[in-house]
């Protein structure tokens, strides 16, 4: 799962360069019959007591985080619309990361670009800063 998190983070960073905001403010064009854990609109995320605004980028992208227990995180399948927001693994705490810009959730399925490479790097720095294992690894690399 740790490899999944690192690969997913790197893919997410690369995808964010070409990521856009969904037209409806939703997180995905995929439909799901089960109850979603990530609200479909930015307004719902912002209003939810489950999500906390932890970071805002220089360009105004808001990073909302919802901590998850490992039990809940492990029930989220790869085909779930919530999966694209899932971060963490057995070593680092699980959480949802929902990015919002201009009142819309930024998702990987949207067509128009919403993030610059600088935005992607700043968000990636935020994600790395939340990951104790990644911070330790980078600190150890700096010692060499």
- Give the Cα separation of 117 and 128 in Å (integer): 16
Q: What are the structural domain ranges in the chain?
A: 2-143
Strand partners, 52: 65
Decide: helix, strand or coil at residue 114. Answer: coil
Q: At what angle do helices 2-17 and 117-130 cross, to 10 degrees?
A: 160
Q: Which pLDDT belongs to residue 60? A: 93
Strand partners, 97: 65
Q: Which pLDDT belongs to residue 33? A: 52
List, for residues 44-92, the tens digit of each pLDDT value.
Answer: 999 999 999 999 999 999 999 999 999 999 999 999 999 999 999 988 8
Tokens 């990073």 belong to 63
pTM equals 0.74
Tokens 């294992």 belong to 133
């Amino acid at each position: 799962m740790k490899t999944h998190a690192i690969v997913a983070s790197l893919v997410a960073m690369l995808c964010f360069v070409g990521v856009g905001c969904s037209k409806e403010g939703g997180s995905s064009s995929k439909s799901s019959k089960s109850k979603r854990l990530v609200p479909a609109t930015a307004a719902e995320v912002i209003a939810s007591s489950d999500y906390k605004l932890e970071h805002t980028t220089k360009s105004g992208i808001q990073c909302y985080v919802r901590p998850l227990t490992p039990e809940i995180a492990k029930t989220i399948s790869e085909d779930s619309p919530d999966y694209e927001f899932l971060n963490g693994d057995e070593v680092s705490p699980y959480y949802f990361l929902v990015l919002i810009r201009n009142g819309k959730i930024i998702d990987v399925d949207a067509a128009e670009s919403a993030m610059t490479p600088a935005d992607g790097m700043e968000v990636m720095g935020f994600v790395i800063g939340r990951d104790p294992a990644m911070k330790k690894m980078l600190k150890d690399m700096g010692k060499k």
